[in-house]
Every structure is written in C-alpha cells, then in structure tokens.
Amino acid sequence: VAIERNADKPAVVTAEAKLGQAYLAKPSEGDIAFALARASAADPAAYAKQAEYGKRLLAAVDSKWARLEADQKEALRVSSLKDQRIVELTKQIERVKAEASRNIWTMTGAGLVVIGGLACAFASVRIGIPLLLAGAFAGAVPFIVDSPYFAYIAGSSLALAAGLGIYWLWDRVRDSANAPNEPPQK
C-alpha cells in the first residue's frame, strides 16, 4: 500500500520495499536467479502469473493456519475433558477408600460384638461386656471420624481419660497414705 501511494517518490518506495524484505526469510540462490530472469524479461503476464501464484499460496497458508487453530482448540477441549475425568476419578477413588475403611471398622465391630456375646454366654460377663462395648465403639469409629464434631469428641475423650487417670492416681495415693502401718508378713 505504501509503495502504491508513493509511486512518485522512489526513495520512499525503496525504503518500504527494504522494510518489507526485512520481515521475509533470506531467499535461496534459485529464487534470486528466478526473480532476476523475470525482471530482465519484464513480461507483465509473468508478473500477473506470479502474483496469482502468491495469492494461492497465501490462501493455502491461511487455510492451514485456520485448520491448525481449530485443531488446537479441539486439543484444548479434549485436554480439558481429560482433566475433568481425572478429577472425577480421583474423587471416586477417595470415596471408595473411605468406604473400604468404613467397612473394615464395621466388620471389626461386628466381630467384637459376636466374640463378646459368645464370651458372655460361655465365659464370663466381665469378659463379654467390655468386648461388646469395644465392638460398638469400633463400629462407630467411621461416623465419629467423619463427624464435624470429631475434634470435640476426641478432646472430650482425652479429657475424660486424663480425669480418670488423675482420679486413679489420687485414689492410690490416698489409699497408701491412709493404710495402717503393719509390718510386712513373713
């Protein structure tokens, strides 16, 4: 465009042509020889033929570029679908792991309850009742751990255990302090 509008200014036309060449790759020796032969012939039909070839070449490049962009968009869409599927499968794996853990605790609790029941029936209630309670606790573990109140439950359980431990220690010290001084028996 700058060359056509400045046809009466040869210096501007030359500068614009050199600027346009700066954006192009360096031509091969064959291309230079072909251009020199075309310029020396100065045939308007040859120029028109080469201009038409250039337009077809540009159209082919534009078509392939549009195809490349469409392929990239499709690849991005497929990649996005794959990423979504990976996230979905990861969530499913986490759910299955949690369910397996819950099932193990439930089966452990059921086993302890059965053993506790058998112990109550055939051995002693003093042995069976703690096993029954342990089975109930084991069955409840998944629900306790998944609860939003887990921190409160765990904290209160630890506080209760610490309180029982302190009471046991206080009772033991009190009993030993109040024990009569009897000589050891031989």
132, 134, 139, 141: CA torsion to nearest 10: 160
Q: Are 10 and 2 in contact (CB under 8 A)?
A: no
Q: Is residue 108 part of a domain?
A: yes
Best-predicted range by mean pLDDT (4-13, 16-25, 71-80, 98-107)? 71-80
Q: Is residue 70 part of a domain?
A: no
Q: Is residue 180 part of a domain?
A: no
Would you say residue 170 has pLDDT above 80? yes
Would you say residue 183 has pLDDT above 90? no
Mean pLDDT rounded to a whole number for the chain: 90
Would you say residue 124 has pLDDT above 70? yes
User: What average pLDDT does this structure show over 2-12?
Assistant: 81
* pLDDT for position 1: 64
Residue 184: phi and psi, rounded to 5, are -60, 140
Does 71 or 11 have the greater pLDDT score? Answer: 71
Same-domain pairing of 161 and 87: yes
Same-domain pairing of 97 and 167: yes
Same-domain pairing of 120 and 164: yes
- 13-52 pLDDT, tens per residue? 888 888 888 888 888 898 888 888 888 888 888 888 988 9
Would you say residue 94 has pLDDT above 70? yes
Q: Write out the residue range of the structural domain in which residue 160 sits.
A: 77-175
Would you say residue 11 has pLDDT above 80? yes
* pLDDT for position 186: 65
Is the C-alpha dihedral spanning 98, 104, 105, 106 positive or negative? positive
Per-residue CA distances from 37 to 46, 101, 153, 168, 176 (Å): 10, 83, 94, 111, 121
Domain count, the chain: 2
Same-domain pairing of 158 and 93: yes
Same-domain pairing of 109 and 37: no
Q: Are 144 and 150 in contact (CB under 8 A)?
A: yes
**Cα separation, 29 vs 16, whole angstroms:** 23
Does 73 or 5 have the greater pLDDT score? Answer: 73
52, 53, 54, 56: CA torsion to nearest 10: 90
Of 98, 110, 91, nearest to 146 by C-alpha is 98
